[in-house]
Each structure stands twice: as structure tokens, then as C-alpha cells.
A = this chain, B = another copy of it.
Amino acid sequence: MDKTLAELAQHVGGAVVGDGQVIIERVAPIEEAGAGAITFLANPRYRRHLSDCRASAIIIGLEVAQGLPLGDGKGYLVASDPYLAFAKILKLFEVSPYFSETVSAFAHVDPTSELGAAVTIFSQAYVSGGAKIGRGTVLYPGVFLGAGSQVGEDCVLHPNVVVREGCRIGNRVILHAGVVIGSDGFGYAGRGDGRVKIPQIGVVVVEDDVEIGANTTVDRATLGRTVIGRGTKIDNLVQIAHNVVIGENSVIAAQAGIAGSTRIGRNVTLAGQVGVVNHIEIGDGATIGPQSGVAKRVAPGAVLSSGLPASPHQEWLRVMTLLPQLPKLWQAVRGLEKKLAQLAKREGSKI
């Protein structure tokens, strides 16, 4: 697996500063990287870490490179997108886990299910009747596939993932531990003792190259489909309600929640703990800041925030006491304006 720094630079389309022939054996965090290791420093703020760094090479961006005495004897790999270079080099050195490409005798696999070649099913996984699993896919222990569900090729379903009946997962999808796909949408009609459950007979469609974080939940549609678009990445503990449709390549951070039937465009970013109400649309490329509440349509490309920055408790209490009095404050200011105008008029001056 060993590579020279020059080979790595070529792999990522970057430039070498220093000795390109130094051998790189692994990737390590900057505080721990020693001889044989390549490490990574993207943020100019952390430039001070460089002086103590004993790595054989450091991946940096142009911004960091500009402030450096590059002839300091250290090896540098300078890349225009250092994160991307880092990702590619990590990928090179990543040790893929070994999969048996067999079905454990201690898994339950219904005879009416269809399995592609080289599928790995660990013991204690459960595959229901009519389920289809594509070539090379891995089901860890505790995974449950419901009746007639489909999982494409080269997917990894981590331990205790649940994909309920009829749901469809594309190719190269990663579902982290505890993810639930296809739980019933939260729908009731009537009220009080007369409240009845609206049967949720739709499905979830997760398109290719999606990754979904641990313990995230995606509800099935009432009718039709809840859709997670191709390439979209979802973090841990996110809630996606019934009939939500998310476009391609969007990014949804941890603990965000999207209420029923809302449509999220392509390349949208929702930061952590964002909440989006039901039945609205968030346009392509929009970015919503942490903890924001989105209550109405968002235009494409909009950058919205509503998270409140924490402040010292006593100060905050004072502000919170005054906040409900904003209407009174406006009234006071309007009153002052009027009185001042009267006074000025009486006095004959123009202000």
C-alpha cells in the first residue's frame, strides 16, 4: 500500500513541495503523525500546529501554503481543494472490511427472496418474502428487510437497520446502524376518542449513492412515495416525514426534521436541528442555518437563519423580558415622533 508523496500528488492532481520520494504508509491526525504518515491541515487558523508536526508530509491548500516557509524541509502536498485531496488519499489507504460474500446459516432469508451474486448476509439478519438484494450488498446482524422490499447493488446496511415492506433502496447506498426506512407516516383523521389512524400504504424510495446516518427515520408515504434523491447525504437522528421529496445532492445535518409532504430541492443544505414545516417547498441550492425554523416557501439559492446565539443567562433574561414588549416599544416611539412633531410645529420650526 506504500506510495511516494509524488505518486499521491499525481493521484489527487496536486503539487509536491519538498522530497517527492518520501514513502507514505498511512494517514494520521496532525498531533500523532510521525515518519511514514501523511496528515492534513486545511484551516489557516491551525497553522501553528505545523511547527511541531513530525509527519512525512502534510496536505495543505493554497491559502495555508501562502503563509508558509515552504522550504522548511517538510514535505507538502499542495492541492486546490485540500479536503478533496485528503478524502481521495484516505480512500487509498482505507482498509476495506472483509466480507464473506455468503449468507449465514443463522440469518433468516425467505426462500421467495432474490439475492444477487456476492451478497453478504450476517447471522441474525432477517430477509422477508419477495425481497430483492443486488450484487455485492452487505446486511449486517439485526438488519430487517420487509416483504417485497428492494436493496440495490453494493449497499451496506449496518447493524439493526430496518427497511420495511415495499421500500426501495438504490445502488451504493449506505444506511448506518439503527436507521429506519418506511415506518408509518404520522397521520390521523378526526379528534379525541374519534381519532383514527390513516393507513400509510405508500413506500420510501432511496435513490443511488445516498448515505443516511445512525438512528435516522424516514417515514413511508400515505399514498405514493417518500423520496430521498440521488447523492443526498443525511446525518444522524434526522426525521423525514411521510411524502417528503428531497432532490439530488442535498445535505441534511444531524437532528434536522422535515414535516410531511414538504419538497426539498437539489443541492440544498439544512444545518443541524433545523425544523421545516409541512407542505412547503425549499428551492434548489438554498442553505438554512442551524436550529432555524422554516415556516414558509424558500426561494432557490436563499440563505436563511433563525438560530439564536446563546448569551450570558442574566443578560438573556433581561432581553427575554423585554422581547414581548416590542409592540409597546414601537408604540412609544410612534408616540414620541408625534409629540415631537407637534412641539416643533407649535414652535414653528421644521424638523
Q: Which residues of A contact B (CB under 8 A)?
A: 27-29, 31-32, 39-40, 43, 81, 83-84, 86-88, 90-91, 93-95, 97, 106, 108, 122-124, 126, 140-142, 144, 147, 158-160, 162, 164-165, 174, 176-178, 180, 183-184, 186-199, 201-202, 211, 213-215, 217, 219, 221-224, 231, 233, 235-237, 239, 241, 248-249, 251, 253-255, 257, 259, 267, 272-273, 275, 277, 279, 288-296, 298, 302-313, 315-320, 322-327, 329-330, 332-333, 336-337, 339-340, 342-344, 346-347, 349, 351
A sample of 20 more A-B contacts (CB under 8 A), given A90-B222, A124-B126, A343-B347, is A27-B201, A84-B190, A95-B201, A126-B141, A162-B214, A177-B180, A178-B217, A183-B214, A183-B236, A186-B213, A195-B233, A214-B217, A215-B237, A237-B239, A291-B291, A294-B309, A296-B309, A308-B323, A319-B324, A342-B351
- Which partner residue on chain B sits nearest A254 by CB separation? B239
What is the CA–CA distance of A317 and B308 in the complex, to the nearest angstrom? 10
The interface residues of chain B lying within 8 Å CB-to-CB of A160 are 142, 144, 160, 162, 178
Q: List 24 A–B pairs whose Cβ atoms lie within 8 Å, in order of A's numbering.
A: A27-B223, A84-B189, A87-B187, A87-B198, A91-B196, A94-B201, A122-B126, A124-B126, A142-B160, A144-B160, A162-B214, A184-B211, A213-B217, A217-B237, A219-B236, A254-B257, A277-B290, A291-B291, A293-B308, A293-B310, A295-B307, A333-B333, A343-B344, A343-B351
A313 touches B322 (CB 8 A): no
- Which partner residue on chain B sits nearest A222 by CB separation? B90
The interface residues of chain B lying within 8 Å CB-to-CB of A174 are 184
A307-B293 in contact given A142-B160, A192-B267, A351-B342 (Cβ < 8 Å): yes
A180-B178 in contact given A108-B106, A188-B233, A217-B236 (Cβ < 8 Å): yes
| Cβ-neighbour of A329 out of B158, B219, B295, B333 (below 8 A) | B333
A305 touches B317 (CB 8 A): yes
Count of chain copies = 3
What is the CA–CA distance of A137 and B91 in the complex, to the nearest angstrom? 35
A272 touches B254 (CB 8 A): no
B340 touches A343 (CB 8 A): yes
What is the CA–CA distance of A315 and B237 in the complex, to the nearest angstrom? 30
What's the nearest-Cβ distance from chain B to residue A316, in Å? Answer: 4
A257-B257 in contact given A29-B224, A108-B124, A214-B217 (Cβ < 8 Å): no
